[in-house]
Chains A and B, each alone.
Chain A
Amino acid sequence: MTTRFDKLGVIIAAIVAYAAFAAPFATLRANRIVPGEARSILEALPPTLGPLLLAVVVVAAVVALLKTPLALRLAASVVALAALALLIGVAGSFLTPEGNSFARISPASGFWLLIFAFTLLLADGLTRLNLSPSARIGVLVVAAAAIGLLLVSGSWNSLSILKEYANRADSFWAEGSKHVTLALGSLAAAVLVGLPLGILCHRVEKLRAGVLNALNIIQTIPSIALFGLLIAPLGWVATHVPGAASLGIRGIGTAPAFVALFLYSLLPVVANTVVGLAGVPRAANDAARGMGMTERQRLFGVEFPLAFPVILTGIRIVLVQNIGLATIAALIGGGGFGVFVFQGVGQTAMDLVLLGAVPTVAMAFTAAIILDALIEMTSTRRREAQPA
């Protein structure tokens, strides 16, 4: 006997049923820190749009539930996500009392669950499509453009998180660029130091265990503890090394955050370099030497290109990890999106926490997709069948 139901579809339909009919769609609060009142889909939207949204999500859930063609499933998920994205903005304006600038409307659990359910459907569909790496980046660009368009068009401006943004637009971009600088800068430093160190560890076997163990130990130090440990040495450097202080090196602030992220980044870079180089076929290495390549020609012409996908995997780990970890830097005055997160926690203003957390997650997610695509491109380029 064959079921006519899609396995994942059953879960998606169950989530949608709960989220659409039992969970609140939006929360209305009198100001940014008081607890809010829940509003269902029908209450949160104008009389025509509420039933329409319900109809859209129910139909999309039925499409997900039954065994339907892939194109239909993708279309259903995209339509449902688009409707949700547009109408949450409408709910924002609809629920905001006329002329009230203190009221805060935020998406509630029902909205997030619906987004989750249809993203699941979309992701499942895209996975089944088995897209090429460049097509995946294309999908990412389209999604980013759609979100960007919604942000620029102002249709979300009535939502709480964007009201927080409106109050802090300048510092948002300043902290954002600090965040990116921290994450990418420490990655760049880790690659500059980690690659040669990895190559050295590969060549000198005696060094390997020692270096990797030391980096492993660093990896196990909790980040806050590492910041604390760095205060003394960096403070000493700042006062005793001429010019260090003018470069911004201090016991607290950006410098220790940068150093900590750099130290955390080293292990994945070095370990993946060692593993990648060790995975180069012995015969290829032997042939390279036997044909008269110098050590340098062999490293750059044979070992490095063959190890590159594995090294890139290490860089991916580091980038995603650093984008997340850089949030902690705010604790010691290092800046970044963490500033909003910790301010928000301090003020019990969840919207402010989200203002820091959402862009961080979005950046990490984007970095992961782009680097995964790059890894696949570099490792399949030589496997792809060439037209004869």
Chain B
Amino acid sequence: MIEIEGITKRYDATTVVDDVSMVIEPRTIAVIVGTSGSGKTTLLRMINRLVEPTAGVIRLDGADNRSLPGYELRRSIGYTIQGHGLFPHRTVAQNIATVPVLLGWDAARTKRRVDELMTLYQLDPQAFGPRYPHELSGGQQQRVGVARALAAEPNVLLMDEPFGALDPIIRNKAQEDLRAIQKRFGTTIILVTHDMEEAVRMGDKIAVMDAGKLVQYARPAEILAKPASAFVETLVGASEKPFRLLSLGRVRDAVETGTAEGEAIPADVSQRDALAELLWSGRPALPVTGADGKPLGRVTVDGLVKRAARPA
């Protein structure tokens, strides 16, 4: 659990982060979203003390984050940034081993962990371990960046625009991978982005920041349904709201009894994608199949449209 209490950061006369308080539940993803200059990155960097707050306290699992020297604290917290920040003079394996080496793990344990993470990220340790970052594609570099951040099994992972430099298709994949790995390790993730789409897709909770202030901190559905201010409303995008709401739910939750003609749609596809498929193919309903291929029922345009309406 991460408790942020009355955190403020001032540089001379300008207040970058203004009295922010929030609690991040363990094993969840909290997304901090805001425009550039909203203070979201500064807030993130105060958690691992790359930036020291002017006032306020941050507690990790109850312990003040100032109870350790900064560098020791940072070794226990994963950290990834936009443009990955891999060390160009070190191989992929050496990059991933950075924090284990800093922590003084023995060579065998470090190697085991590096191999495990590379395998998890679909990078063959034999083939990719000895390569240098510049020999990898953008998507691979990003995966190495996250693997490096997770190397010492941190409970908390801080991510600053981790997917910013990726093209849309790879970004989708990277987001799914992160979700899967977060579930697997139970890591608490705080992710900074300016992209509301990403926030809605990734976040268990979304913190909206504007001019250093925390404007709203709530579940995605609530942010969409009840934006706390005109700013949040703009950020959500008025014309996008119904679709973002749909993108939160899976088809399996919208299944109705009955049958439909045509090719079936899997139950774990988002409701938004299902609606898009319905509209595009010009049909009123689609059959739905479960993971085992058995028919579950159908989704209808009418049913999805009702779900896209503003929640009461």
A residues contacting B by CB (< 8 A) are 281, 283-284, 286-294, 297, 302, 305-306, 381-383, 385-386, 388
> Who on chain A is nearest to B69 by CB?
A294
Instruction: State the 6 A-B residue pairs at the shortest beta-carbon distance, nearest first.
Output: A287-B85, A292-B75, A290-B79, A283-B85, A292-B74, A283-B83
Bound-state CA distance A57–B85 (Å) is: 57
Bound-state CA distance A388–B132 (Å) is: 11
A residues less than 8 Å from B132 (CB atoms)? 382-383, 386
B75 touches A291 (CB 8 A): yes
Bound-state CA distance A289–B128 (Å) is: 25
Chain B nearest CB, measured from A282 CB (Å): 8
B89 touches A306 (CB 8 A): yes
A283-B81, A383-B134, A388-B131 given; A291·B102 CB < 8 A: yes
A302 touches B87 (CB 8 A): yes
Interface residues on B, range: 35 or more
Chain A nearest CB, measured from B124 CB (Å): 9
A283-B81, A283-B83, A382-B132 given; A293·B71 CB < 8 A: yes
Taking the complex as formed, is B205 at the interface, i.e. its CB lies under 8 A from any CB of chain A? no
Bound-state CA distance A294–B84 (Å) is: 20
> Who on chain A is nearest to B84 by CB?
A283
1/0 contact string of B74-99 vs chain A (CB within 8 Å): 11100111111111111100000011
> Who on chain A is nearest to B130 by CB?
A386
Taking the complex as formed, is B289 at the interface, i.e. its CB lies under 8 A from any CB of chain A? no
B window 131-161: CB within 8 A of A: 131-132, 134-135, 145, 148-149, 158
A residues less than 8 Å from B83 (CB atoms)? 283
Q: Can you list 9 A-B contacts with CB-CB less than 8 angstroms, sorted by A residue number?
A: A286-B81, A287-B81, A290-B50, A291-B75, A291-B149, A382-B89, A386-B131, A386-B132, A388-B130
A383-B134, A385-B135, A386-B132 given; A292·B72 CB < 8 A: yes
A286 touches B85 (CB 8 A): yes
B residues less than 8 Å from A385 (CB atoms)? 135
Bound-state CA distance A345–B29 (Å) is: 81
B102 touches A297 (CB 8 A): yes
B88 touches A382 (CB 8 A): yes
A292 touches B71 (CB 8 A): yes
Chain B nearest CB, measured from A202 CB (Å): 18
A residues less than 8 Å from B128 (CB atoms)? 388
